[in-house]
Structure formats: C-alpha cells, structure tokens
C-alpha cells in the first residue's frame, strides 16, 4: 500500500509531493486537469512569446519560492518599474512618478491615513488564530467595504482605495469580512508589501514564466504524477483511505487534499466531512479575476517614458495595469487586471467585444501604438471548472469567528493543503508551497 496520495497538482500538491519524495515515502499525485500548475499557467504561443495567465509574481519574504527557484536553477528578474505611472480618475488621466498619484491633497492624506489604519489593525492579528483578537467578532461582523466607506472622507479616496484593494483581494470589498482582510494583510506582512512592486509581492517574475518552475519540479516527480484523474470519492477505513474516480481506485495510508475550497465539496467523503468544516466550505467563495494581455513587438510605452502601470476608478473596465514583458524586453506585454464586478461585466461579453473594449482602454493610456498588438489574450479563472475563481477562497463575514481553524484541521487520515490553509502568504503561491510542506510533514510524522 502507498504511504500517501496527494490530490491536486498545483504548487501546494507539488510541494507536498516533493516533501514526501525527500522523506522517501511512497506516494502518487492525482491531478484532474491534463496539466500541472493549477492556478498558475504559462500560455506559450507559437512565436515563442508567453504570458502567465495565472500567478506570476514573487517577492521578498516569500522564502520558499526563492528556495525552490534556486534548487531547480530557475531564474527570476525584476518587474519593470520605471517611468511615469497613470491614474485615471473621473475620466481624467494624469501621470506621475514615484508612489504618490497626482490628485487632490485631501484625498491623498485620507488614503495614507486609511491604509496606515488598516496596517495598524492588521498588526494585532495573529495569523494562526485570527479569531483571538479582542475585536475579532466586531471586525468579522462587517465587510471591508463598511470599514473603508466609514474611513473615506472624499470620493476620490474611496475610488483609489477601492481599485487597489480589489486588486489585492480579487473581489468586491463588500464580499470579504474585515477580519479576513486584516488577516490577509498580516499573512502577507503589510499592505505596502501587498501593493508594491519594489520590496513587495510584485517585485519579481520567473524567467520563462511560472510554468518553468512547475516543469522542473515535475521532472523530479514524473513517475508519481497521474494527470486526468478527477477524484470523486474519498473513503476512509480503519487503516487506510481509498480514492476513487472514473476508472481508478487507489489506496494509501494517508491522503493530502490540495484543491480550492469550493471543489472540496464536490467530492463525496465517506464518512462525511465534519459539520463545522462542511459549513465553513459553504461560506467560502472564490474571488474573480481576469487577466487581459496585449502582446506587442516591443514595450513601446517604455520609450515614451511610461512604466505601463495604471490605476483606474470604476469608470474604466480594468482596475490596474502592469508591464508584464519578459526579462530583456525582447517583446512587450501590457497586462490589465479585470476584477470582481468589472470582471463579471467584461467576461459576460463575447471575445470580439472584449478585445475592442480592451484595446480602446490600452490606446487611451498608451496611444495609437497600442491599437495593434501581435496577440490579444484574456482569461477568466471563474470559468475554469478546476479552479472556480481566484486568487483564493475568501472568508465572508462570520466565517473566521464561527469556524476558526477548521480548514486545515486533519480529518482522520485526510490532511489538508492548498494556499487557503496557510497562515503565511495566504492566497499566494508561497502560501500554497508552505501549506503543502506542512501537510506532508503531518503525514510523514504519522507513517
């Protein structure tokens, strides 16, 4: 009998599998898709260009990711971060350099105070027990939006903070509990880290795309990976666990489930999941993000003095833009983030309309040269059956304080991984890796 079976071939499942491999345990990894990487995926085009349609950045304090890159000899490079940025507010476009957008001083002060207040509150959250804070119940009873509205004294402050925080959380601010928002900030160090390129979560890209790392890890695990295996049922016995899907049944001493929260409920567990865990899973929803890319012969906006970065209010189809070109800028990639309600509207349209809307937007900020990309690509993760959204599962109001640490608590012979079970860098690839390693260590200690 196998020592363990890992379900899910995203970074969390791969990290769990690597840890089992290094501990000389026998295991296999079952992945529903015909590829590895889960919420990370590098789309490679015929002309050699590529874009990361899923997770793409790593940054300081994401130590496990840098270690993996070093271990597998995968290189990273700095995200392009020079030139003038753009702010699009009330349909007026202004450019600025540095961190402070060009807008009225009252709103700037308000934004600064509000972000600092969120950071101060987040500092009091313990990442392994967010419900323990004195004000946890109060904070878990309201959405992030209620808090932000209460602390915004100008309309422009609300607009800018909204665009920034929607980009961080991948949902409308009224869809996420304030306590979860604070936990998420703490889990990723602080708001400045979450929002920044330099010194922050967007500092580095992987050369060749995130798939370059996945591919290298897969080489090590090749003989243990089974693609196109959708696990439909998990049956626990006294001394083993059986994983069943169409045309297969595997038995092992332990199982590690490393899949997004909504998909856990699609599996038939025997015996049933504990009530608390099952109810918590019902309360967690995935965010919604679409990435929209224009691929150009060269990053022409750099020559015109632009960084490629934009932040835009709700009158634009997209919240934020980045220069997502490869390391040497041999060709240019503009990336727009389309999130929450903007994504629901945008991705309800057909592809031709989406392309037209996107190119109009690119031209509005970067001029006529943006009208004719070599390739246009957009991708919405909410449409993917094996992800159902991104970046991660979101705790709605009441979920943290009523259900506490249920998500990662082992259930018999089943252990839980996935970025949503990580205290550190929850929602990020780093969190996925840490969670996978933690779950594998739990298993290794028991067999």
Q: Which is nearer to ligand FAD, 197 or 312 (CB)?
A: 197
Q: Which is nearer to ligand FAD, 156 or 408 (CB)?
A: 408
Report the nearest approach of ligand FAD to the CB of residue 127 (Å).
16
Contact between 184 and 38 (Cβ < 8 Å)? no
No. of helices (H) and no. of strands (E), the chain: 16, 22
Q: Name the CA radius of gyration of the chain, rounded.
A: 22
Return residues touching ligand FAD (CB under 6 A): 7-13, 30-33, 38-40, 54-57, 230-231, 258-260, 263, 267, 289, 291, 381, 386-387, 390-392, 418-419, 427-430, 432
Contact between 372 and 324 (Cβ < 8 Å)? no
Report the nearest approach of ligand FAD to the CB of residue 361 (Å).
18
Q: Which is nearer to ligand FAD, 39 or 253 (CB)?
A: 39
**Residues forming a β-bridge with 50:** 44
Q: Which is nearer to ligand FAD, 157 or 259 (CB)?
A: 259
Report the nearest approach of ligand FAD to the CB of residue 433 (Å).
8
Contacts of 427 (CB under 8 A, 6+ apart): 184, 187, 188, 391, 392, 419, 420
Report the nearest approach of ligand FAD to the CB of residue 22 (Å).
18
Q: Which is nearer to ligand FAD, 267 or 370 (CB)?
A: 267
Helix (H), strand (E) at residue 278: helix 275-283
C-alpha pair distances (Å), 221 with each of 5, 15, 257: 13, 10, 17
Contacts of 155 (CB under 8 A, 6+ apart): none
Q: Which is nearer to ligand FAD, 8 or 209 (CB)?
A: 8
Which residues in 354-375 are b (16+ Cβ under 10 Å) and which e? bbebbbebbebbbeebbeebeb
Q: Is 120 helix (H, G, I), strand (E, B) or coil?
A: helix
Q: Which is nearer to ligand FAD, 37 or 332 (CB)?
A: 37
């Amino acid at each position: 009998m196998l020592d363990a079976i890992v379900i899910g071939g995203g970074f969390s499942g791969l990290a769990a599998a690597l840890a089992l491999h290094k501990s000389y345990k026998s295991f296999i990894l079952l992945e529903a898709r015909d590829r590895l990487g889960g919420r990370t995926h590098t789309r490679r085009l015929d002309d050699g260009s590529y874009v990361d349609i899923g997770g793409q950045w790593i940054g300081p304090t994401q130590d496990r990711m840098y270690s993996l890159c070093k271990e597998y000899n995968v290189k990273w490079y700095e995200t392009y971060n020079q030139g003038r940025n753009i702010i699009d507010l009330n349909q007026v476009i202004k450019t600025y350099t540095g961190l402070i957008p060009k807008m009225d001083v009252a709103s700037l002060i308000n934004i600064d105070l509000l972000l600092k207040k969120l950071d101060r509150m987040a500092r009091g959250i313990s990442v392994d027990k967010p419900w323990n804070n004195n004000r946890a119940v109060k904070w878990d009873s309201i959405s992030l939006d209620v808090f932000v509205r209460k602390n915004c004294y100008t309309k422009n402050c609300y607009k800018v903070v909204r665009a920034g925080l929607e980009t961080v959380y991948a949902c409308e601010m009224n869809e996420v509990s304030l306590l979860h928002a604070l936990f998420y900030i703490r889990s990723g160090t602080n708001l400045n880290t979450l929002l920044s390129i330099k010194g922050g979560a967007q500092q580095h890209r992987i050369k060749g795309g995130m798939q370059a790392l996945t591919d290298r890890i897969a080489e090590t695990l090749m003989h243990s990976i089974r693609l196109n295996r959708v696990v439909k049922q998990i049956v626990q016995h006294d001394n083993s666990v059986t994983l069943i899907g169409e045309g297969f049944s595997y038995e092992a001493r332990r199982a590690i489930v490393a899949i997004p929260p909504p998909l856990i409920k699609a599996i038939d567990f025997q015996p049933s999941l504990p009530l608390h865990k099952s109810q918590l899973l019902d309360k967690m929803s995935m965010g919604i993000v679409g990435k929209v890319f224009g691929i150009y012969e060269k990053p022409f906006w750099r020559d015109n003095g632009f960084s490629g970065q934009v932040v835009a209010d709700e009158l634009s189809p997209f919240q934020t833009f980045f220069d997502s070109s490869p390391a040497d800028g041999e060709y240019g990639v503009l990336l727009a983030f389309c999130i929450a309600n903007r994504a629901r509207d945008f991705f309800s349209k057909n592809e031709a309309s989406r392309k037209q809307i996107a190119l109009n937007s690119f031209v509005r900020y970067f001029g006529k040269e943006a009208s004719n990309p070599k390739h246009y690509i957009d991708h919405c993760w909410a449409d993917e059956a094996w992800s159902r959204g991104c970046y991660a599962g979101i705790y709605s109001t009441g979920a943290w304080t009523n259900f506490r640490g249920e998500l990662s608590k082992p259930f018999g012979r089943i252990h839980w991984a996935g970025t949503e079970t990580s205290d550190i860098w929850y929602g990020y690839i780093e969190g996925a890796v840490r969670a996978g390693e933690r779950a594998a260590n739990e298993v290794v200690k028991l067999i």
